[in-house]
Amino acid sequence: MRFGDGWPCCDGIVIPMDLATIMHEQSEKRPRARDLGLPLQGTPGADNAITDVPGLTVGMTTLKDEGQGIHTGVTAILPRPSADLLHPCWAGSFSMNGNGEMTGVHWIREAGWMTGPVTITNTFSIGIAHHASARWMARRFPDVVGEDVWVLPVAAETYDGYLSDIAGFHVTEDHVLAAIDNAAGGPVPEGSVGGGTGMIAYEFKGGTGTSSREVTIGGETYTLGCLVQANHGLRPWLTVCGKPVGEQMAENRIYEAERGSIIVVLATDAPLLPTQLDRLARRASIGIGRGGTPSGNNSGDIFLAVSTANDPGPLPEPPRFKLDALSNDRLDPMFMGVVDCVEEAVLNAMLAATPVTGRKGRFVPALDTDRLMAAMGMAPSGHKT
């Protein structure tokens, strides 16, 4: 199934949203951070999305049924073309605060690489996301997986139980498989879609956000992209481009203490060692910190970084690896790109999201662009909210 065929929903319903329709609706109704003229740093790629990294694709399944209180889904990130997902990607990870889960990171710490799709969903569906990813790999590579090769999928989660019937376990194996099969390049839907459908950020509607940066090092230009599932922060903490704006928008608060998390997936075509990718993953902490969060006790703030360079070929591992890598002394522009990229992706997630009334009649507002611009001391955006 591709984006144009619609996204599977709960109870067999299909939401007939093709990618072009989604992007048109978002451009008409909800601006991205750069559309507002916010003083964001760095130069983005063509689509200002993680898919600006060559060969990387993103797919989603969105489940919405307001009558049943279902607002959830799954996002799949394929760091390589599907035919090459048995080729390891060098990787690193970091847990800023571990009140959450990302599978597969133990092997990344041991071996320095990962294979297969990366999936992000709600807390109670991480098991089915892991299961379905393994199933997808076994079906895609039947002569190898389960014979000479095992897979340790990367699956991550944030909690959507405030808005969604999380205990109903509505995400199925088929939903995860569809998200992987839907994966495409180009613009990425943001806000209340995929795994971010039921998520909340700074007590506004949050969800899925993405951004990218072009980073020039030693005369070579590389692409760095990130995708976040933003479900973190309290309203008074919210800071945008250095200005504390959350306290100026104090109505409709829903939490007394933080209950959420954020997952950050970073990807680049720059040749980096696993230890260097660990270092990139750590810098995502500064990116989310720019938004005001201290990474609270209840927050699962877990980050993954992968490089698509240095393709070693398919598993099983060859007898020897040959790696090319940037010098550590050249990494500062990449570190700054991570910080800028993550900051913007969180804003994009919030700005793309729409107000939601979830289970038990719980209402979560969207970030109002005109209120934001006023709090920033800037002229109204002129965009619809």
The residues annotated as belonging to the active site are: 261, 299, 301
Among residues 28, 24, 20, the alpha carbon closest in space to that of 3 is found at 20
Within 10 angstroms of residue 384's Cβ, the number of other Cβ atoms is: 9
- The answer to whether the CB of 304 falls within 8 A of the CB of 113 is no
**Tokens linked to 333:** 């522009």
Cis? peptide before 39, omega within 30° of 0:
no
Beta-sheet strands, E only, within the chain: 7-8, 14-15, 57-65, 70-78, 89-98, 113-114, 118-122, 154-158, 200-201, 204-205, 207-217, 220-231, 239-240, 243-244, 261-268, 300-307, 356-357, 363-364
3-class SS at 231? strand
Residue 375 amino acid letter: A
3-class SS at 291? coil
Within 10 angstroms of residue 193's Cβ, the number of other Cβ atoms is: 25
Q: Report d(CA 346, CA 196) in Å as an integer.
A: 12
- The answer to whether the CB of 62 falls within 8 A of the CB of 194 is yes
Please report, in angstroms and rounded to a whole number, the separation of the first and last CA atoms in the chain: 32
How many CA atoms does the CB half-sphere of 240 hold within 13 Å? 30
CA 252 to chain centre: 26
Question: What separation in angstroms does the CA of 199 have from each of 71, 168, 220, 250, 350?
Answer: 9, 16, 38, 19, 10
Q: Report d(CA 3, CA 6) in Å as an integer.
A: 6
- The answer to whether the CB of 204 falls within 8 A of the CB of 231 is no
